[in-house]
Amino acid sequence: MVRRYDLDWLRVLLFALLVPHHVAVGFVDWGVDIYRFVNNQLAGGGMSLFIYWSHSWRLPSLFLISGIGTYFLTRSGIGFQFMASRIGRLLIPAVFGFFVLNAFGGYAIAVMTDDPRRFISFWSDWLFNPVPRQVQHLWFLFSLMIYTLLCWPIFTLREHLENRSLSPVLLILGLISVSALAVVIVKPYAAALAGDGYQFAYYLVFFAGGFMIGARHQTVLDFAKRNVWILLAAAIALFMIKATLLAFVLIADFPTGEALAAGGWVPLGLEPQYATAFSVIEALTAWAWCITALGLAAKFLNRPSSLVVELNRAVFPLYVLHFPITLVGLALIAQISWPWWVEFFLLLAVVYLFSWMLWRFANRLGAFSYLVGGRPTTRTDNGA
């Protein structure tokens, strides 16, 4: 099978987008609801719009590319050995990150919220009295493990999916329909914070859909490449419609608008306007940006590159490492008073640099590199 460098590049770029997104949350006032503290210099509404735009498709695209990567991984088999290897590769860094790495980010939050404990005392509580919020960004890995188990029956259909004569348009429309149905049915009753609530079913469709697209990747990528500018225009238009609908509801009643964005408005006794239309457009927007990203990658990035091979190896460890560094860096940079944009780009550079340095160090530790998601250089892995 010919290596798809465009998919390698897309995986690298999608995970790289996590850093500016997570850094940006520390530069908006409502970021305190997520991180429990924010920077002392805040950005304007443009930063909130960037976060909302990237959030509209960032996580769906990550589950999609992980599903595509899983398809390529199943070339060597889909039996118990494959599943054990896959779950182990996800579980080891997830557990190590939960108990060790995330403690540093957690302590940064503690310091910024006037927790008087020293680090040793804090870490002792972190280890022996764990709470769900310690998972932080690693919920993604736990979700991938669950999705991998749930989709095992789909993996057995690999050859059938490869040989089935199905147009990319029908495949994509089918996946959009299932995604929209999941949002319309579940979102009114189950709010989501980080991959939970209605998003659990929603993201499952993207992961399973990624595997199906992987089985038909040549035809899907050719379609996306041919129609990339139409897809991009549609993605922009859909996001603008989605943002406009949400703005109307927020202006009319802010709590109702928040519920429309997060889900779970029925238990709250709220009835947002445009709820069904907004839910359908949510799925349409995510898929439009995802397929556009596939098309742009196929059009511009499908070229042999030793750089992307190395970056592709580093992506998983950088994901595991970057968030604690983001929180620690945000706590430190909040102590200075430079223009917000200087602090933003400085923190961005610091997170990328320190994540890369820690990965290069871990890469020299042999089997210990598995703790942060590393792997031997002799293996090829296209999935997170």
Query: Which pLDDT tens digit goes with each residue over 16-29?
Result: 999 999 999 999 99
pLDDT in tens, 125-153: 999 999 999 999 999 999 999 999 999 99
Q: What is the pLDDT of residue 164?
A: 84
**In this model, does residue 384 exceed pLDDT 60?**
no
pLDDT in tens, 167-218: 999 999 999 999 999 999 999 999 998 888 999 999 999 999 999 999 999 9
**In this model, does residue 378 exceed pLDDT 60?**
no
Give yes or no for a contact between 104 and 324, defined as CB atoms under 8 angstroms apart. Answer: yes
As a residue count, the chain comes to 384
| Mean pLDDT of the region 274-296 | 98
**In this model, does residue 381 exceed pLDDT 50?**
no
pLDDT in tens, 211-241: 999 999 999 999 999 999 999 999 999 999 9
**In this model, does residue 2 exceed pLDDT 80?**
no
Record the tokens describing residue 13, joined without a space. 């770029």
**In this model, does residue 76 exceed pLDDT 90?**
no
- Per the prediction, the chain carries an average pLDDT of 94
Residue 129, SS3 per DSSP? coil
Query: What residue spans define the domains of the chain?
Result: 5-190+198-241+278-372
> What pTM was estimated for this model as a whole?
0.94
The share of the chain scoring above pLDDT 70, in percent, equals 97
Helices 340-362 and 306-333 pack at an angle, to 10 degrees, of 130
Q: What is the pLDDT of residue 376?
A: 65
Q: Predicted confidence band at 380 (pLDDT cuts at 50, 70, 90)? A: very low
Q: What is the pLDDT of residue 379?
A: 47
Whole-angstrom CA distances from 99 to 130, 134, 368 are 8, 8, 16
**In this model, does residue 305 exceed pLDDT 90?**
no
Give yes or no for a contact between 350 and 329, defined as CB atoms under 8 angstroms apart. Answer: yes
Give yes or no for a contact between 6 and 308, defined as CB atoms under 8 angstroms apart. Answer: no
